[in-house]
Structure 1
Amino acid sequence: MSEGETIDGVPVTDEQIQAWADEAEAGIDVDMLKKRGRGRPGRGAEPAQVVALRLTPQELAELDALAARAHKTRSELIRAALAAYAT
């Protein structure tokens, strides 16, 4: 192991590496890994499409301030605005 290796700022020890190797040699429970729910939760039956949006620093600051006041994320606020506009 090279000196100073870390994961999330925590030093990786030879003992930890050996424990990981032992776990891998014992076999990985694939069903357990699938149940962990990696990634963001879905918003429906179909995968959501990511859309890039360019905002000026001032627009972004205004969006963040409005989102904070509404106790919403940027994405939630943008989706709500689009839904209101579409109706």
Structure 2
Amino acid sequence: MVVFFTALARFFRYPGKWSDLVVLVAGAWMIASPWAIGRQSTEVFDGAQVIDVAVGIVLMVLAIVSLLLLGLTRGYDEKRKAEEGGP
């Protein structure tokens, strides 16, 4: 739900660093949640844990890529404004 509402907020506001950080934290929680809330089982393969960890990894990777791209585009915009002599 956190990721869903963060995605909705990005549609209505300018995407920034805060939304990527929220998704990054949500991904970390998805990875840690099976162990943090004690949902482990004695089975060798528990599909729910695998899915939680996989979704968490995907969320974290996408958030990191988004943060990197945001930094690159802001750096490019600042460089372009400096070359044009704008503020």
TM range (shorter): under 0.3
Q: If you compute each CA radius of gyration, which structure gives the higher value, 1 or 2? A: 1
Q: Which has the higher helix share?
A: 2
